[in-house]
Amino acid sequence: MLVVGSIIGVQIGQKLGEKINSSGLRALLAILLLVVGIAIAYETFFAEQSLAEISTVSNSDLNFFSKFIQQFSEEMPFFYGLFSILFAIFLGVSAAFIRRFFSNFKKKMLIKS
């Protein structure tokens, strides 16, 4: 889920970055850093309350794929990390090609009409 959200966020951010001037981007970055700092401070000072709300998931609640991922990450953490990075790169490149395909398709449709 994190990978999919980051890929979509990069595509949206790239389009917004083309339309917003540099001072606007600096202001956006400052606001983002402020929000992240507040979130970290909140988690630091109110962690006891947050830990009480976390529920545990037993292995019997997981499906086959989830169990495989959990075992893979525990038994071979290096390869799990390497696979995760390569998978994220693959999804990012795929999303860029799909975006380019639809962009070219849209341009061709506009030229024909």
Q: Tens digit of pLDDT for each residue in 51-95?
A: 656 666 677 778 888 888 888 888 998 999 899 889 888 888 888
Token pair 């956006």: residue: 28
In the chain, % helix, strand, coil (3-state, to 5) comes to 90, 0, 10
pLDDT band at 105 (very low <50, low <70, confident <90, very high): confident
pLDDT band at 113 (very low <50, low <70, confident <90, very high): low
Q: Tens digit of pLDDT for each residue in 11-60?
A: 888 887 788 887 877 888 889 899 998 888 887 777 666 565 666 667 77
Kindly state the helix (H) or strand (E) to which residue 104 belongs, with its residue range: helix 77-112
Planar angle of CA 106, 107, 113, nearest 5 degrees: 90
Domains of the chain: which residue ranges? 62-113
pTM: 0.49
